[in-house]
Amino acid sequence: MINREGYWKYSLMFLIIVLGVIIFQQSWTYISGILGACTIYVLVRKQMKYMVTKLRIKKVFAALIVLLEVILCILVPTFLLIWLLLGKLQTVDFNPQEIVATAENFLNLFQTKTGYDLVNPDNVAKITSFVTVGLQMIVGQVSSFIINAIVLLFILYFMLLGSDQMEAYIYDILPFNDSNKKNVVKEIKMMVRSNAIGIPLLAIVQGTIAGIGYAICGVHSPVLFAFLTCFATIIPIVGTSLVWFPLAAYLALTDHWISAIILAAYALLVISNVDNVIRFMLQKKLADTHPLITVFGVILGLPLFGFWGVIFGPLLLSMFFLLVNMFKIEYLDTPDRKKPV
């Protein structure tokens, strides 16, 4: 028999869950802005506290200074990169007849060289579907960038203003003891810093190195493909091979064998090793995270969170293992179990 206090307790829990699910579903459109605000807050919270406590700047002005830094150092460069990429794409001649003719020549060349016919109904349907989905995704991401940037700045502003109360409240409602709370908070900070700093740095370095290789091998529009390589770095396992492998294959099919061999060797020896070395060096430097957590975390995170999945996917996986280990230590590793039988 549930008493009155039990009834109140479970009714309140039920209402919290129902309203939480509704709010979560309706705000999913703005998840990029929300996650972006959380990520940037972790990166700038120390600076905010320093300006308020040491420099004696009022919270409102300190928050505005941080927002100005975010706009100038993150949002404006990102917008310029997208604008430059779109500008590069606009310089490409999208004449349908010419594109069809080029595609036919390439497919005929591929069939002549390999003996495999790519132009069959199944392959054409798959390629058409893939291209359509890819274009829709690009258009959707570009169109939502401004909206989510506004959401990011709006949420980040109020997070900075109420930082002390917000952190204390979240710390209090965490369902762990003080020791485990500290471990969870530490893990979140390390993972967010590691991915938020490491992934953009890796993309810039790898895209630059790849662009040099593309220019040396005579690839048309090397800057454009360097940008594409930057974005491809967030895709685990295959990553940059999605860009350089088709380019090397095209050079080989067009009888530029020396350039194709040089590009393939350069990609395998330099580009791929830069990915492996820098990615895991940064992970070890900023957060002692197993490489498999990073790889599979990104695989899980991208479908869930979009771009921010590169940060919150590994964080989600890392938190899962942390909670499992916490449960093991708290409830399974009892003194009786530790005694030899």
CA distance 218 to 206: 18
| pLDDT > 90: percent of the chain | 14
Query: Which is nearest to 151 in space by CA: 91, 82, 75, 243?
Result: 75
CA distance 217 to 271: 14
pLDDT of residue 335: 57
Summarize pLDDT for 285-333 with one digit per residue, the tens.
Answer: 666 666 677 777 877 887 777 767 777 788 788 888 888 888 887 777 7
Integer-rounded Cα Rg, in Å, for the chain is 25
pLDDT of residue 96: 46
Higher pLDDT, 250 or 95: 250
Interval 126-133 mean pLDDT: 57
Asked whether the predicted pLDDT for residue 60 surpasses 90, the reply is yes
CB 259 within 8 A of CB 218: yes
Structure tokens at 253: 């099919």
CA distance 161 to 62: 9
Query: Which is nearest to 303 in space by CA: 94, 70, 183, 137?
Result: 137
Asked whether the predicted pLDDT for residue 114 surpasses 60, the reply is yes
Segment among 69-73, 126-130, 185-189, 225-229 with least mean pLDDT: 126-130
Q: What contacts 322, CB < 8 A, 6 or more positions away?
A: 183, 184, 187
Return the residue matching tokens 């290789």: 213
CA distance 304 to 99: 34
Asked whether the predicted pLDDT for residue 178 surpasses 80, the reply is yes
CB 184 within 8 A of CB 322: yes
Q: What ranges do the domains of the chain cover?
A: 29-173, 176-333
| pLDDT > 70: percent of the chain | 73
CA distance 282 to 288: 9
Q: What contacts 266, CB < 8 A, 6 or more positions away?
A: 213, 216, 217
Interval 173-178 mean pLDDT: 83
Helix (H), strand (E) at residue 4: helix 4-26
Q: DSSP of 284-333, one letter per residue?
A: HHH----HHHHHHHHHHHHHHHGGGHHHHHHHHHHHHHHHHHHHIIIII-
Interval 175-186 mean pLDDT: 83
Higher pLDDT, 184 or 290: 184
Interval 246-260 mean pLDDT: 82
Segment among 124-133, 162-171, 270-279 with least mean pLDDT: 124-133
Say which amino acid occupies 59.
Answer: K
Asked whether the predicted pLDDT for residue 128 surpasses 80, the reply is no
pLDDT of residue 340: 42
Q: What contacts 65, CB < 8 A, 6 or more positions away?
A: 51, 57
Segment among 14-18, 153-157, 163-167, 304-308 with least mean pLDDT: 304-308
Give 99's pLDDT tier (boundaries 50, 70, 90).
Answer: very low
